[in-house]
A and B are shown apart, each in its own frame.
Chain A
Amino acid sequence: MRALVIDDSRTMRRIVRATLAAFGYEVHEAEHGQAALDLLEGGLEVDLACVDWNMPVLDGLQFVTRVRANPLWRAVTLVMVTTESEHSQIVRALAAGAHEYVIKPFTADALREKLELLGLVPEPVAAGGVA
C-alpha cells in the first residue's frame, strides 16, 4: 500500500513516515496541501493520505475538500493528523470528507488502530514503536 504524508514539519513527516513504513507502507511526502495536490495531479496514486491541518499555502481542510471534490481520487482514504483537537474541528474535518482523525501527540498503536478501523490493515509492527 502507498501513503502520502502531508505536513509542513519535516520532523513530523519523518515520524509519520517511519511509523507507516513499519506498517509496510511505501511512503511519499508533501510539505503542504498544494504540494500534495501537485503530486496527485502528477499521477501519484495512494491508498492513504495523512494530513496535517495547519499548513502554509494550502491547509489540510482545504486539501481534504479538494480531494473529495475530484472523483478520480475517491479511493484515497484521508486521515487528519493534527493538534486541532476540539470537537467542532473534528466535525468540520469529517464533514469535509476526512475518514478518520488522529490527534497529536499520538502513538504508533493509536495510528494502527485507526487504520485497522478503516480496513487499511497494516503489517505487524515491532513492539514499542512510538510516533
Chain B
Amino acid sequence: MSPIAHEEVQAIAQEVFAAMIDGEPESLVPWPDAGTGSDAVVAWVDVHGPWLGRASLETSTPAAHELARALLSMEADETVPREDVVDALGELANVVGGNVKALLPEHGTLGLPNVADRLPDGHLAAAVQRVPLAWRGHPFVVTVWEVAEPTVSVREGER
C-alpha cells in the first residue's frame, strides 16, 4: 500500500499552484485522465532513501509555456525562452516533490529536477498515485512513482 494518498498529492499540487501561480487553490481542478497528448513535457525529481521513488509532472508544451509565463509574471503574448520553460517546470517538480517526500514515514533526500519530453529509459518504477488535473483547461498530471529495487537510472542536473 502506498504511503501517499491520492488526496494528499492533489492537495500538494493545488497548494503549490495557489502559492506560486494563481493565488487561489481552485485554479487546479480534477480532470478526466485523457493524457497530455503527443507534445508532452515531463518534469520530475527523484527521492532517495528508505523509500525510492519519483514525483513527476506532465503537461502539454503550450501549457508549459503558459505556466512559465505565469510563474515569471510575464505578459500573455510574451515568448518564453526554452531554458526558462525548463527551469520553471523543473522548479514546480522540485516543490511538489519536496512536499511529497515530507509525507513519507522515513525521510530521504531529494534529487535535482529534470525536464524532458518523456521519462527516461530504464524508468522501472510503478505509479502508486496518478492524479489527473487541469489548469486553465490544460491537462496537468501529477504522478508518484515507487521503485521496488534501487535500479532506477537518475540523470541529475539536466535543466
B-binding residues in A (CB < 8 A): 8-12, 14-15, 18, 54, 56, 82-86, 88-89, 104-107, 128, 130-131
A11 and B15 in contact, given A54-B110, A82-B98, A89-B107 (Cβ under 8 angstroms): no
Shortest distance between the CB of A31 and any CB in chain B (Å): 10
Q: Secondary structure at chain B's binding surface: helix, strand, loop or mixed?
A: helix
Closest to B102 in A: A85
Closest to A14 in B: B72
Contact present for A54 and B71 (CB under 8 Å): no
Q: Secondary structure at chain A's binding surface: helix, strand, loop or mixed?
A: loop
How many A-B pairs have beta carbons closer than 8 Å: the answer is 65
Can you list the 9 inter-chain pairs with the closest CB atoms, starting with the nearest?
A: A83-B98, A105-B19, A9-B91, A85-B102, A11-B88, A11-B91, A104-B95, A10-B87, A105-B16
Is B20 among interface residues, defined by CB-CB distance under 8 A?
A: yes
Closest to B109 in A: A54
Is B94 among interface residues, defined by CB-CB distance under 8 A?
A: yes
A11 and B71 in contact, given A84-B98, A131-B20 (Cβ under 8 angstroms): yes
> CB within 8 A of B84: which of A11, A85, A89, A130?
A11
A10 and B84 in contact, given A84-B98, A86-B102 (Cβ under 8 angstroms): yes
Is B79 among interface residues, defined by CB-CB distance under 8 A?
A: no
A54 and B94 in contact, given A11-B84, A15-B71 (Cβ under 8 angstroms): yes
6 additional A-B pairs beyond A9-B113, A83-B101, A107-B19, beta carbons within 8 Å, are A11-B90, A84-B98, A85-B98, A86-B102, A106-B19, A130-B19
- Bound: A54/B88 CA distance, A: 16
A86 and B95 in contact, given A9-B90, A11-B87, A131-B19 (Cβ under 8 angstroms): no
